[in-house]
Amino acid sequence: MPHTRRPRKTDSKLQQQKRLQVTDADGWTHVTTNKNVRRALRPNQSANGESSTPSLIPAEAPSQLTLDDLQTQFNGYRERWEGSETWRVMADTLRRRFEGTSSIADPDARATPLENIVCIGLGSPSGFLRGGWVDRRSVSLYQLAALVCVTESIKKYCPSITAYAQDPVFNQLDRSLLNLLGISVLDHPEGFAKVSDRSFLYCPGAERTHLEQLLSSNPPLLFGGPLEGIESEIVGRYLGTRESVRIPTFGSNEHAFWNMRLYLL
């Protein structure tokens, strides 16, 4: 006889407080309740009724989460990332670019070593965003795993390269984890000032409003995008001097690197 389960009566108040996860078109996972789903997906509104960007404050980490716990979580995400076809393609593209066997990279650009890797818009690996409504930790942890792997790969060719990360949502746990991984955390707008024509710009989560400022510094390598759909003279000029490689879909979390490309000079 098959096992059956009778529905149990639940207290109506507890039922209303049940939390759901809703992923929107941009890959944001909203942790919300049944009746609040639509409200959670709406942008903030100013006093005159116009939509405004939510203020960015440090993310809320679970109260019981420790740095050791977070590092253990990161190690698991890194292991899955390193075993993916997505990373294999990305690592091979970087290797060919720096070893001079790539047909898409400029030989003169390769002669100038990179000084730094600047990460903009990583998000919080440990905490909830937008007042606790958004859980994007998985995306941030995978993007952080990719950043660490990229840094280690490039260090084979540019031993003195340094890595920086800037995001106003970083909390103290995030900062501690990044420092542990050899990534220096910068406050806004110090990260923007670090981007130059000797930078690898790692910006999988950068706001489009920031891209023009970042690309005006002409970083030879960039990971993020896609940039092709952005109507901007600066972005268009940047694309006109770069080749790009689209990385394969990352099966473990397709939102983490959706349609992203590696742009190379």
| Predicted pLDDT at 158 | 96
| 97 domain-assigned | yes
| 6 domain-assigned | no
| 136 domain-assigned | yes
Q: What are phi and psi of 46, to 5 degrees?
A: -80, 180
Burial of 5 (0-12, 13-18, 19+ CB in 10 A): exposed
| 207 domain-assigned | yes
- pLDDT-based confidence at residue 27 (cuts at 50, 70, 90): very low
Question: In CATH, what number is assigned to the domain containing residue 251?
Answer: 3.40.50
Q: Does residue 197 carry a pLDDT above 90?
A: yes
Question: Could you give the C-alpha distances from 85 to 76, 160, 166, 195, 248, in angstroms and in order?
Answer: 17, 28, 28, 29, 7
Count of the separate structural domains present in the chain: 1
Each residue of 155-195: pLDDT tens digit?
999 999 999 999 999 999 999 999 999 999 999 899 999 99
| 109 domain-assigned | yes
**Cβ density class 38-76: b for 16+ within 10 Å, e for less:** eebeeeeeeeeeeeeeeeeebbbbeeeeeeeebeebbee
Structure tokens at 93: 């593209």
| 50 domain-assigned | no
Query: What sign does the CA torsion over 116, 28, 139, 222 have?
Result: negative
Structure tokens at 78: 């890194």
What residues make up the domain containing 92? 67-264
Structure tokens at 117: 């890797």
Q: Does residue 30 carry a pLDDT above 50?
A: no
Q: Does residue 43 carry a pLDDT above 60?
A: no
| Predicted pLDDT at 208 | 79
| Predicted pLDDT at 218 | 96
| 13 domain-assigned | no
The lowest-confidence range among 30-44, 65-79, 202-216 is 30-44
Each residue of 238-256: pLDDT tens digit?
999 999 999 999 999 999 9
| 101 domain-assigned | yes
